[in-house]
A and B are shown apart, each in its own frame.
Chain A
């Protein structure tokens, strides 16, 4: 079946540093989504990408839909303590229909 490889699995950074994480797939996706999940809470949508090459920002967050349609990255600039959490990528393909394929998540820790 379709799989998403998300890396890194975890990151430990200092407040103020920039962060980059990415997802790659063996198959083409029509949509890439990035979510953040705080402990004990549901995932919250950060950025949605719908076109190959699309670059979208949401405050200090920037995400891009890779031109091959098989990858996406998320950057966080000038990290702050409240950025701590698990970041998930998710992709949607024609094969999967309305269902999403999820990455395993990147756990971000920020020390002040």
Chain B
């Protein structure tokens, strides 16, 4: 079974704080993704990575950065959290061997006060 885990289920941070969201997958997948999900807007792609140290901007990268130092781990960084970054953050992974079918983690509900 594919397993994607995220470091926190719930997180509360203050405006201006630096926030790290961690994602780990145990299936040796090449591709990893970060989405945010907001009511009425669906899932929106923030960044993705198709290899270690590689990253590509998604649809809404502003205010975010990512890091992929190891194949199994993909981190999302909010350099200076703002209230409009309050959202559900979802990590996913996929492999070309599995037709790039994406498998999701349980999500992190981030609240920025």
Contact = CB atoms under 8 A, between A and B. Distances in A.
Nearest to A92: B100
Interface residues of B, number: 23
B75 interface: no
Interface stretch (A37-45, A57-65, A72-80): A37-45
| A-side interface size class | 20 to 34
Contact of B31 (A33, A48, A88, A98): A98
A70 interface: no
A42 B90 contact: yes
Interface string B92-104: 0010100111111
Query: Which of B33, B50, B102, B103: most chain A Cβ within 10 A?
Result: B102
Given A35-B104, A42-B104, A103 B42 contact: yes
Contacts of B33: 99
Contacts of B99: 31, 48, 50
A40 B99 CA distance: 27
Contacts of B4: 42
Contacts of A35: 104
A87 interface: no
Contact of A102 (B31, B42, B109): B42
A43 B40 CA distance: 16
Interface of B: 4, 31, 33, 40, 42-43, 45, 48, 50, 58, 90, 94, 96, 99-107, 109
Given A45-B103, A98-B50, A99-B33, 5 more contacts: A31-B100, A44-B104, A48-B99, A98-B31, A104-B40
Interface of A: 31, 33, 35, 40-45, 48, 50, 88, 90, 92, 98-100, 102-105
